[in-house]
Structure 1
Amino acid sequence: MFSKTAIVTGASKGIGQSIAELFANEGYNVLINFNKSEENVFNLYNKLKNKGLSVRLFKADVSKRDEVNSMIDFCIKEFHNVDVLINNSGISQSKLFTDITDEDLDNMIDVNLKSVFYCTQEVLKYMIPNKKGKIINISSIWGIIGASCEVHYSATKAGIIGLTKALAKELGPSNIQVNSVAPGVIQTDMLSSYSEDELNVLKENTPLMRLGTPYDIANCVLFLASHHADFITGQIISPNGGFVI
């Protein structure tokens, strides 16, 4: 059995699902976190288990500290350690800034930003004593350049970038690398509200003339989790096809 264990939050679909699948195929023990989309995640789990891969499922709302703590306890019980944390769980919403409600803002901060705090604080109980670990936070290009009508989303993704840089400095002496992946326009359910014409405009504005795939992001995450990235920390890597340069 591969000695390393990875936790992937929000892994029921899209980028998170691709990350979980890729890591499992690469020999990691993978704890697949989900909160909704149960049919999707059980299909993924059965697919990977039928291949003889080392995976577990855990349902948790990672915006709630007590559920995060239960998830990490379960991971330690099953796999005895946690080597890689991928903070992928997130939501998006398109809305005029003047229409954003307190509930909208609180929900966005809870799911996109507090979840990163909670999951990271809990895994550090194990990483710091071991003097090793990889934390990879999924942000967005909109956290770098901002998106009109997605101010609260952009703010949380920018917050992840700030968290990543600050935490990398704090955890460097413990030999823990903290990095962020800021995807460009990726073919996931988050694009379901876009028309074909709108998607074509996005492609035309991307120098590589295509939208990204979840596996484009998953492969970047896999690299950052590997020993090849042991001297990389506090960095924001943005696979975006040249959309942002």
Structure 2
Amino acid sequence: MNRKRCLILGASGGIGEAVVHRVIEDGYAAAVQYFTNEDKIRTIQQGIPEDQWAGSFQADLSTKEGLQAFFRVLPPEWDAVVFAGGHMYSGLFQDMKEEDMDALYYVHVKSLWMTARHVLPYMIQQKQGNIAVVSSIFGTEGASMEVAYSSVKGAQNTFVKGLAQELAPSHIRVNAVAPGLIQTKMNGHLTLEDLQALENDIPMGRAGTPEEVADAVGFLLSRSSRYVTGQILHVNGGWC
């Protein structure tokens, strides 16, 4: 059986792991990229049928050198790519160090550009393909104390919209999911009081789960969304 192949970047994070399991359920063979959490990747692999495991790639996407090393080993033949990785920076913008800005730029923007450019020749040749980006509500709304993070997520959103128009004639779809408050380690810095206050602002009254974000990604990769491209799908419980 020739399965479609999906590459998930940031697979060791909460949302990334949920996306891996979702694409496996949907019949893909999955490959994963991670930075440091090799134990999590081994655990993920143990739960995946052997014929649906397409490999793992350790790579630091926060530097130019890390990206170059990644592309030296990454095959270009993928039917779908999901960008689910990255980190945030919380603090006053004027207190940010330049190296923190550079790391956000490389992880969220430059790695997206370069990976897309790496895989697109194959997708264009095949006249089909899917690219999905896990962005953020802050990419459309912005957030105090997360100014630089908001800006790189906004860049992801406009990249999706522009690239989708360019690739539509080649039958390649490009979309994004913009989660709101999700139960992941990224929000582990919040106090219980802060978390409750945020949940009180969400019309559905709770944080979302990684699986709910992964379901949205699964929809965007599926035939059910075959006429959907260039869209930012908000998964936020009505929080905006």
TM-score (norm 1): 0.92
State the alpha-carbon separation in 2 of the partners of residues 72 and 125 from structure 1. Answer: 14
Residue number in structure 2 paired with 1:58 = 57
Alignment of 1:1-245 (within 5 A): 1=1, 3-49=3-49, 53-63=52-62, 64-73=66-75, 81-244=77-240
1:49 is displaced (CA, Å) by 4.1
Change (3 A) 1:4 1:19: same
1:71 is displaced (CA, Å) by 4.3
Query: 8 Å contact 1:68–1:118 — kept in the other structure?
Result: no
1:41 is displaced (CA, Å) by 1.4
In structure 1, what residue type is equivalent to 2:210? Answer: P
1:27 is displaced (CA, Å) by 1.5
TM-score (norm 2): 0.94
1:68 is displaced (CA, Å) by 3.3
Change (3 A) 1:125 1:61: farther
Query: 8 Å contact 1:83–1:133 — kept in the other structure?
Result: yes
Structure 2 SS opposite 1:203: helix
State the alpha-carbon separation in 2 of the partners of residues 129 and 183 from structure 1. Answer: 32
The Cα offsets for residues 110-164 of structure 1, whole Å up to 9 and x where unpaired, read as: 1111110111010102101111100111110000000101111000000001101
Structure 2 SS opposite 1:48: coil
State the alpha-carbon separation in 1 of the partners of residues 229 and 25 from structure 2. Answer: 25
Structure 1, unaligned runs of 5 or more: none
In structure 2, what residue type is equivalent to 1:10? Answer: G
Query: 8 Å contact 1:6–1:84 — kept in the other structure?
Result: yes
1:70 is displaced (CA, Å) by 3.1
Query: 8 Å contact 1:97–1:151 — kept in the other structure?
Result: yes
Query: 8 Å contact 1:49–1:55 — kept in the other structure?
Result: no
In structure 1, what residue type is equivalent to 2:71? Answer: N
State the alpha-carbon separation in 2 of the partners of residues 179 and 59 from structure 1. Answer: 25
In structure 2, what residue type is equivalent to 1:85? Answer: V
What is the aligned residue count? 237
**CA RMSD, 1 decimal:** 1.5
1:181 is displaced (CA, Å) by 0.7
